[in-house]
Structure 1
Amino acid sequence: MRLDKFLKVSRLIKRRTLAKEVADQGRVAINGKKAKASSVLKEGDELEIRFGQKVVIAKVDQLRENARKEETAAMYTILREEKLAKVEPEFIDDET
């Protein structure tokens, strides 16, 4: 199954066009490798998705062409969520 379709059907990302944009911006990795929207997913793959200042790591449990809202939780398991450290801007010291 295509990555963008899985993200939409599983409701990890609400719309397929948004899932495609996120993937094509390099913010999704499959098993540690950057993925495009057209990348093929298999059951057991590990996804790493960067949402702003948060990274979600999930394991693909099931692939379904369509799923009701109640069934989507069975499609993946969240392994962990991490907040990215905010990068403080560097200040230039002009007092030299």
Structure 2
Amino acid sequence: MRLDKFLKVSRLIKRRTLAKEVADQGRITINGNQAKASSTVAVGDELIIQFGQKRLTIQVESLREAVKKDEATTLYKVKNEEAIK
């Protein structure tokens, strides 16, 4: 599954175009490698996403094309969340 689509479906980022912009700015890594919006995400991958003053590390638990809002958090597990100074 594409990175931008995963971020939208998992509701980590609300819109796919916004997910593409964040990836293009170099604020997302997959398993330590710089990610593009078109990068492929697989189960078990570790994503590090930088949101302004916050860095979120997650592990991909499952991939689905569509999920309900209350099931979105089942797609990933938060490993670390830290504030950036």
User: Would you say 1:30 and 2:30 are equivalent positions?
Assistant: yes
Q: 1:74 is paired with a residue of what secondary structure?
A: helix
How many angstroms does 1:81 deviate by? 0.5
Greater radius of gyration (CA): 1
Q: 2:67 is paired with a residue of what secondary structure?
A: coil
- Structure 1: gaps (5+ residues): 86-96
Counterpart CA distance in 1 for 2:32 and 2:25 is 15
Q: 1:36 is paired with a residue of what secondary structure?
A: coil
Structure 1 partner of 2:71:
71
Counterpart CA distance in 2 for 1:63 and 1:23 is 19
TM-score, L = length of structure 2: 0.98
In the TM superposition, structure 1's runs of 4+ consecutive aligned residues that sit over 4 Å from their partners are none
- Structure 2: gaps (5+ residues): none
Superposed, 1:1-96 pairs within 5 Å as: 1-85=1-85
RMSD: 0.5
Identity across aligned pairs (percent)? 62
What amino acid maps onto 1:79 in structure 2?
K
Q: More relative contact order in 1 or in 2 (CA 8 Å, sep 6+)?
A: 2
Q: 1:22 is paired with a residue of what secondary structure?
A: helix
TM-score, L = length of structure 1: 0.87
1:12-45 deviation line (CA, Å, top 9, x unaligned): 0000000000001100000011100000000000
Counterpart CA distance in 2 for 1:66 and 1:24 is 24
Q: 2:8 is paired with a residue of what secondary structure?
A: helix
